[in-house]
């Protein structure tokens, strides 16, 4: 009679284990997971970055002056749009115009001097040709008198006089050649002076053109450092007049 409760308890344990095994076999991980479906779509992903710093254009160009002088006119202001080669400022060109006129006068004077030296060379060439003719005449006269002297038709004094004439004509020819060489050297020097004056004239004209300050690129004026009447000095480096941002659609911090 005492063994029945133990037997019953064993049966209950077996039934319980069987039921638990069956439940685990039906759903080993618990309740079924819930799913949500959606349509696949294409779009952009936006990433926001927060930072602090100085906001600058990616490309900016400093505009300076290569000549010194007083700012006479300004044609743009802060935030003004500009195009490449657009006139944005002008330095007083009066002194530079005077330099151009002076250089032009120097060129004309140097060219006139060169023409004078060439005319002098032409005269010296004519003198040289005349000296050659005189020498040839003196030599012919000497040869004739020498022949007559050998036949005792003329005296030795006449022959010696003809010989002196030959030597004098030869000296005149050598002097004419030397003068021609000097004249040709003066022509070369005058031509060099002309080239020097022309170079100075070209430099003066370049400086005059530089009084017109032009925009080097397309962009926006983001900085203006001068006002009309202000004097700029370009002795060691070009002073900054403007800063032009080439493209404000792209900025950097």
Q: Residue 238: what pLDDT?
A: 74
Domain count, the chain: 2
Q: Residue 46: what pLDDT?
A: 82
Please report whether residue 48 resides in a domain: no
CB neighbours of 82 closer than 8 A, spacing ≥ 6?
Answer: 76, 88, 215, 218, 219, 220, 221, 244
Q: Which domain holds residue 98?
A: 94-210
Residue range 49-107, pLDDT digits in tens: 777 888 788 888 999 999 999 999 999 998 999 999 999 999 999 999 999 999 999 99
The SS3 call for residue 104 is helix
Confidence band for 214, pLDDT divided at 50, 70 and 90? very high
Please report whether residue 20 resides in a domain: no
Please report whether residue 39 resides in a domain: no
Q: Structure pTM? A: 0.68
CB neighbours of 184 closer than 8 A, spacing ≥ 6?
Answer: 121
Q: Residue 2: what pLDDT?
A: 47
Kindly state whether residues 69 and 135 are assigned to the same domain. no
């Amino acid at each position: 009679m005492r063994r029945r409760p133990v037997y019953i308890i064993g049966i209950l344990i077996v039934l319980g284990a069987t039921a638990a095994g069956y439940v685990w076999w039906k759903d080993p991980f618990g309740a079924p997971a819930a799913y949500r479906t959606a349509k696949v779509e294409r779009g952009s992903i936006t990433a926001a970055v927060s930072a602090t710093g100085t906001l600058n254009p990616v490309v900016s160009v400093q505009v300076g002056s290569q000549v010194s002088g007083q700012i006479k006119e300004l044609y743009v202001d802060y935030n003004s749009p500009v195009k490449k080669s657009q006139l944005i400022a002008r330095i007083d060109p009066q002194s530079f115009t005077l330099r151009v006129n002076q250089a032009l006068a120097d060129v004309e004077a140097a060219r006139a001097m060169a023409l004078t030296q060439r005319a002098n060379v032409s005269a010296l060439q004519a003198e040289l040709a005349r000296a050659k003719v005189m020498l040839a005449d003196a030599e012919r006269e000497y040869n004739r008198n020498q022949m007559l002297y050998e036949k005792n038709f003329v005296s030795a004094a006449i022959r010696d006089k003809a010989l002196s004439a030959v030597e004098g004509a030869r000296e005149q020819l050598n002097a004419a050649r030397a003068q021609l060489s000097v004249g040709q050297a003066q022509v070369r020097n005058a031509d060099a002076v002309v080239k020097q004056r022309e170079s100075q004239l070209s430099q003066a004209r370049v400086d005059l053109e530089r009084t017109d300050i032009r925009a080097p690129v397309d962009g926006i004026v983001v900085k203006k450092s001068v006002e009309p009447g202000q004097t700029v000095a370009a002795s060691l480096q070009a002073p900054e007049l403007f800063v032009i941002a080439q493209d404000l659609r792209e900025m950097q911090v």
